[in-house]
C-alpha cells in the first residue's frame, strides 16, 4: 500500500522541494526532482494502465533523447521495465476477462 497523489499534489511537492535551500545556498535541482526514484515515491502505488503507459512513454522519450548520465539512464531503464510489467499485467487481465466471457458456460 502506498501513498496516492494527484498530479497537482505531485507538482506542489516538487515545487516545494525545489524552493528548499540547503546550508551553503544550494537547492534541489530539477534533475533531482525528476529522477525516477523520486517521482516513484510521489506516485500512487497502484497505477492504472493509462498512467503506467503514459509514464512509460515519457521514460522512453527521455532515454531516446540521450544526454542523461549513465546512472540516470539505468534508473530510467529499470523504471521502464517496471512500467512495462504493470502494463502487461493489465493487458493480461483484460485478455483473461475477454476469454472468460467468450467461453460458453457449461450446462449444469
pLDDT digits over 36-82, tens only? 666 666 555 678 899 999 999 999 999 999 988 898 899 899 989 98
pLDDT of residue 3: 47
Q: pLDDT grade, residue 94 (50/70/90)?
A: very high
Contact 79, 43 (CB under 8 A): no
- Tell me, yes or no, if the pTM score tops 0.85: no
Domains and CATH numbers, the chain: 1-46 (no CATH), 47-103 (1.10.287)
Q: pLDDT grade, residue 100 (50/70/90)?
A: confident
pLDDT of residue 1: 34
CA 76 to chain centre: 10
Amino acid at each position: 500500500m502506498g501513498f496516492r497523489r494527484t498530479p497537482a499534489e505531485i507538482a506542489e511537492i516538487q515545487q516545494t522541494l525545489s524552493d528548499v535551500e540547503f546550508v551553503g545556498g544550494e537547492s534541489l535541482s530539477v534533475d533531482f526532482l525528476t529522477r525516477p526514484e523520486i517521482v516513484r515515491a510521489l506516485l500512487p502505488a497502484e497505477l492504472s494502465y493509462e498512467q503506467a503507459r503514459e509514464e512509460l512513454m515519457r521514460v522512453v522519450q527521455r532515454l531516446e533523447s540521450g544526454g542523461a548520465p549513465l546512472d540516470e539512464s539505468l534508473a530510467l531503464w529499470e523504471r521502464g521495465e517496471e512500467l512495462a510489467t504493470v502494463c502487461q499485467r493489465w493487458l493480461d487481465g483484460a485478455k483473461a476477462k475477454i476469454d472468460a466471457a467468450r467461453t460458453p458456460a457449461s450446462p449444469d
